[in-house]
Structures are given as C-alpha cells and as structure tokens.
C-alpha cells in the first residue's frame, strides 16, 4: 500500500438513488415510502423555472413532515450558473435545518464550484446550529467536469460520491446518443473477415471511458462512484445490462428515474448469496494458509493470495452492510 492513506467517505448504502421532482408533493410522499437507498429531491432539471419557488417549499415541508427513516435524503440544487442556487440552499437548509444528509451539486466543472457550495453550506449550518453535517454528491456531466475530475474529487471533506450524468455529458461532449444512458449501435467496429469471409459487428460501450475514469478517481479519493440515469423505464433488460456493466467496473449504485428501477438497482448492486459464500470460503482458506505461514494457496484449482482477501472482504462487508440496513 502507499504511505498515503485514502480517507473513506461515510459508509452508506447507495445501490439505488431515486430522483424525485420537488414540484410534485405526491411523488415526494411516495419516495419517502419507497425502498430506495438514497432519494434525491430535485430542484434542477426536473423542475420548470416557474415551479422552482414552490418546489423549495414542498421540499421543506417534505423534510419536516415525512418519515425518511431508513434512507439517505439528498437534494439536487440548481447549477452555480443560475440565480436559483443560492435560494435553494438558503431556503431549504434554513427551513429544515439538520434534515438533509447530502446535497447533490449538478454540472460541477471545477474544484472551486465545490468550494463555493461548501462555503455557503458551512455558513448556513453554523447559523442554524444544524446537528448534522451535510455530505456532497457531485454530478460529473460536462467535458469540463470530466477534465478536472481529480481536483473536483479532492475539493471538499464533504465529498461522498461522484455520479456520471450521462444525459448532460452527451450534450456537453456532443455525443450521438439514442436513449439516455443506453448504448448506440453506431459505436461499433467491423471485424476483419474470417476464413469464410464473414464479418461481424461488435458493439462497444460508448460510456466506458467516462465511467471507468470516474470509478478510478472516486476510489482514489475514498468516494462512491454511482452510475446515472437510464431513460427508458419501460426497458428493464436495458437497465439491467447498463447497471451490471457499471457494477462490474466498480460502481456502487445507479439512479432510478422511475420507481420501477429501484428494485432492479437494489438487486443488481447487492452481491449474490453465491458470491458471498465464495468470498467467505476465500477468507477461511486464507486464514488457514496464514496459520500455516503461506502467502498463497489454491482453492478449487485457482490461486488465491493476499489480494484475494481484500476483494473477498469488500464483498463480505458489503453484504453485512445490506443486512444491517434491512
């Protein structure tokens, strides 16, 4: 290990992250009763300009009056380039002090964006003597944010997670997309002909680079990497595939832009019983090996070593975290 110790963000389950517009009180009530690990109350893109002020009031009421126990509650503020953002923070943090767990900052472009919000939140928390210290979720959804990712991730002690906002990212990079967060058949290669002259089209994942980069930077800074939206909520198989590839790369969860996506995310980002049992077997085998003074052994015909212990521990700890929350 490096001499540099990576401090980890507070441990929270973040398998599913439900987006709910602050402009709709009925949806807010449903969100509080849902099985989402995290709910973010939206003041940004799901709320029209004329609805911003009433949406803040709905959110204050929802935070004060609804029962959010068992889940993490966040609020997505408007971008720093708007005149809505300061009122989002002031009205909601003063109207419901100590109620929010996290604030989601959209379209973060530079480390100073995070610094600015940190300064405002710190002032309001001090003034309201809020008992809880709010964490930050940062949406990386512009070319600028992706370029400055490392500085952004290290910009505040409040930072907890990085999110890939694929819809705005596509707009910012001028990528050609079809469905939000889905694949595009044009991102493909044509194989060389085989002996019979046949050629195949191999699709690639056009989001591989940004997600992989986000995972690396998040983990290097002790933050949770979270995959963003999948727009076609009538396509659970499409959601499953996109979630599974994000999970395979190391993401801890994915947004649910519709309640039907919550259970899918909870399932796909939980280790299966088979995986947990296998991880426990690895830990047991390594414990035995260490007693015998060995650094590596074989289990089921495969080499396992100290690195296998680390991977197995991550899995077993995650399973315990999920069990503890249910």
Cβ of residue 57: shortest distance to ligand GLV, in angstroms? 23
Closer residue to ligand GLV (CB): 211 or 286: 211
CA dist., res. 310 & res. 303, Å (int): 14
* Binding of residue 227 to Mg ion (CB under 5 A): no
Residues near ligand GLV (CB under 6 A), total: 9
Question: Torsion angle of alpha carbons 151, 157, 163, 165, nearest 10°?
Answer: -60
Residue 175 binds to ligand GLV (criterion: CB under 6 A): no
* Shortest Å distance, C-beta 257 to ligand GLV: 9
**Span interacting with Mg ion, options 82-90, 134-142, 237-245, 250-258, rule CB under 5 A:** 134-142
d(CA 306, CA 292) in angstroms, rounded, equals 14
When binding is defined by CB under 5 A, the residue of 88, 168, 227, 252 that contacts Mg ion is 168
What's the rounded Cα separation, in Å, for the pair 141 and 173?
9
165 sits near Mg ion (criterion: CB under 5 A): yes
Residue from 141, 160, 227, 252 in contact with ligand GLV (CB under 6 A): 141
CA atoms within 13 A on the CB side of 275: 14
Answer whether 217's CB lies under 8 Å from 164's CB: no
Residue selected from 166, 206, 243, 309 as contacting ligand GLV according to rule CB under 6 A: 166
The piece of 25-33, 88-96, 167-175, 198-206 that touches Mg ion (CB under 5 A) is 167-175
Binding partner of residue 229 among ligand GLV, Mg ion, none, CB under 5 to 8 Å per kind? ligand GLV
* Residue linked to tokens 């500085």: 151
> CB neighbours (10 Å) of residue 292?
8
Which CA distances in Å does 244 have to 200, 220, 254?
24, 22, 10
User: Is the distance from CB of 67 to CB of 41 less than 8 angstroms?
Assistant: no
Give 203's strand partners.
Answer: 188
Question: Which residue among 101, 168, 227, 252 contacts ligand GLV (CB under 6 A)?
Answer: 168
Residue with Cβ nearer Mg ion (135 or 165): 165
- Per CB under 6 A, residues contacting ligand GLV are 106, 139, 141, 165-168, 228-229
């Amino acid at each position: 290990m490096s001499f540099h110790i990576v401090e980890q963000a507070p441990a929270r389950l973040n398998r599913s992250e439900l987006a709910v517009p602050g402009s709709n009180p009925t949806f807010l009530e449903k969100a509080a009763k849902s099985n989402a690990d995290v709910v973010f109350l939206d003041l940004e893109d799901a709320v029209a300009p004329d609805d911003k002020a009433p949406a803040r009031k709905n959110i204050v009421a929802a935070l004060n009056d609804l029962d959010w126990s068992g889940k993490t509650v966040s609020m997505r503020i408007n971008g720093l380039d708007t005149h809505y953002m300061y009122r989002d923070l002031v009205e909601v943090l003063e109207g419901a002090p100590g109620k929010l767990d996290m604030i989601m900052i959209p379209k973060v472009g530079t480390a100073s964006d995070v610094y600015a919000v940190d300064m405002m939140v710190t002032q309001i928390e001090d003034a309201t003597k809020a008992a809880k210290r709010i964490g930050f979720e940062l949406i990386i959804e512009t070319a600028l944010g992706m370029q400055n990712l490392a500085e952004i991730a290290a910009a505040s002690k409040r930072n907890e997670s990085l999110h890939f906002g694929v819809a705005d990212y596509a707009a910012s990079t001028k990528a050609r997309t079809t469905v939000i967060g889905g694949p595009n058949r044009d991102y493909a290669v044509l194989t060389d002909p085989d002996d019979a002259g046949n050629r195949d089209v191999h699709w690639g994942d056009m989001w591989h680079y940004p997600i992989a980069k986000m995972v690396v930077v998040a983990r290097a800074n002790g933050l949770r990497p979270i995959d963003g939206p999948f727009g076609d909520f009538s396509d659970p198989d499409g959601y499953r595939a996109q979630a599974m590839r994000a999970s395979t790369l190391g993401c801890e969860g994915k947004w649910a832009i519709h309640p039907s996506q919550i259970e899918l995310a909870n399932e796909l980002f939980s280790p299966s019983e088979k995986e947990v049992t296998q991880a426990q077997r690895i830990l047991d085998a390594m414990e035995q090996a260490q007693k015998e003074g060995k650094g590596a052994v074989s289990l089921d015909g495969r080499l396992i070593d100290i690195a296998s212990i680390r991977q197995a521990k991550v899995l077993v700890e995650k399973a315990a975290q999920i069990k503890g929350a249910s």
